[in-house]
Amino acid sequence: LSMSALQTDLKPTRQEALVGAGTNFITAFFDHNPISQLAVIAIRDGLSEIVSPLSSSPIAHKRALREFADRRGCAGVASLQNGLALAQKILAPVPSYGAKETLVLFASLSTCDPGDLVDEVASMVRNRIRASIVGLGAEVFALKRVAHETNGTYAVAVNAVHLELTLSSLLAPHPTTIRSEPLPSGAMVEMGFPSLERSGSGQICYDDGQRHEDVYSCPRCRARVSTVPSSCVLCGLSLVLSSHLARSYHHLFPAAPFTEMVPGELDSVPLCWGCGGRGGTDARWFRCSSCSRTFCLRCEGFVHESLHQCPGC
């Protein structure tokens, strides 16, 4: 949110485009990664500050981002080093077996840093923090170098639609990189499955102090919260639903890869195990490497892009 964000090459301004795209990304991020956590940082006036702390509440993040942009606006120059340094402090408590990544939406064509950006990048590499950057206007060598050194991605959005598409490509978790040292055994994470309580008159929740008709009750201390996934404000228990765990499962255990069948393998017109349809022998057919079931082209895309589980397996 430097003064560069006030330029109008993205309508109405870069600031509005970034805030809108960031808000949509928060919604989509928790839809794809419901048990993950996220924090929002603003880079403005040569400094960086926390807009919303690390949490699993998309509503709180979106509200804080919009209020900050409306109240504080844009000022000064951008300092990428200060932003990355603050991100490292926020991600420091995350266990080493967790994935840590920063996503930078950068509207400026320069960075004015108080120290050496190279040292900051080296620290991120040691702490295994990935930095993916989306810039505006033109490619900046310093931003591209930061993304490359940390195993992240760098892209320059040419318009608002391209900005949304670029951010949507960053929703799925990156594959884990090879580690030179053994991965420490992760401790068991306590999770609770809260019960939904409905009240016509509404009940006051402990997390936001507001009255809601639908609330979730912590199974350990019975505290009421307005949204899940979240952490109980009284006992600190992670509160999730079974659907949240199911939507995160396929990131850890994706569907087995399919191999395309050559015409010589088709003795007869095959039957698709997914939709039950028959196609010609000249159509494209795929075979699951695990269960050896046959699938048509459309079902192959549906399995790996939407279903994330092989129905044959």
Report the range of poorest mean pLDDT among 23-27, 131-135, 177-181, 220-224: 177-181
Q: Looking at the predicted structure, is the pLDDT value of residue 167 above 90?
A: yes
Report the range of poorest mean pLDDT among 45-59, 62-76, 201-215, 249-263: 249-263
Do 3-168 and 254-307 show the same overall fold? Answer: no
The domain ranges of the chain are 3-168, 191-245, 254-307
Q: How confident is the model at residue 284 (pLDDT cuts 50, 70, 90)?
A: confident
Q: Which long-range contacts (CB under 8 A, 24 or more apart) does 286-289 make?
A: 286/258, 286/259, 286/260, 286/261, 287/258, 287/259, 287/261, 288/256, 288/258, 288/312, 288/313, 289/256, 289/257, 289/258, 289/259
- What average pLDDT score do residues 82-90 get? 95
Q: How many separate helices (H) and strands (E) can be counted in the chain? A: 8, 14
Contact between 154 and 143 under an 8 Å Cβ cutoff? The reply is yes
Q: Looking at the predicted structure, is the pLDDT value of residue 264 above 70?
A: no
Instruction: Name residues whose C-beta falls within 8 Å of residue 38's C-beta, 6 or more positions apart in sequence.
Output: 26, 29, 30, 54, 55, 56, 61
Predicted confidence (pLDDT) per residue in 183-234, tens digit: 555 567 788 999 999 988 889 998 888 899 999 999 999 999 988 888 888 9
Structure tokens at 72: 């504080």
Report the range of poorest mean pLDDT among 190-199, 217-226, 240-249, 290-299: 240-249
Model pTM score = 0.78
Residue 177: the pLDDT is: 62
Burial 250-261 (b: 16+ CB within 10 A, else e): ebeeebbebeeb
Instruction: Give the three-class secondary structure for 229.
Output: coil
Residue 154: the pLDDT is: 96
Q: Looking at the predicted structure, is the pLDDT value of residue 270 above 90?
A: no
Fold of 3-168: Rossmann fold (3.40.50)
Give the Cα separation of 270 and 277 in Å (integer). 9
Q: Where are the alpha helices (DSSP H) in the chain?
A: 14-32, 58-72, 80-91, 117-126, 141-149, 160-168, 242-252, 297-302
Residue 187: the pLDDT is: 62
Residue 266: the pLDDT is: 63
Contact between 189 and 202 under an 8 Å Cβ cutoff? The reply is no
Higher pLDDT, 221 or 265: 221
Q: Looking at the predicted structure, is the pLDDT value of residue 132 above 90?
A: yes
Q: Which CATH class, in words, describes the domain spanning 254-307?
A: alpha beta
Please give the share of the chain, as a percent, with pLDDT higher than 70.
92
Give the Cα separation of 198 and 196 in Å (integer). 7
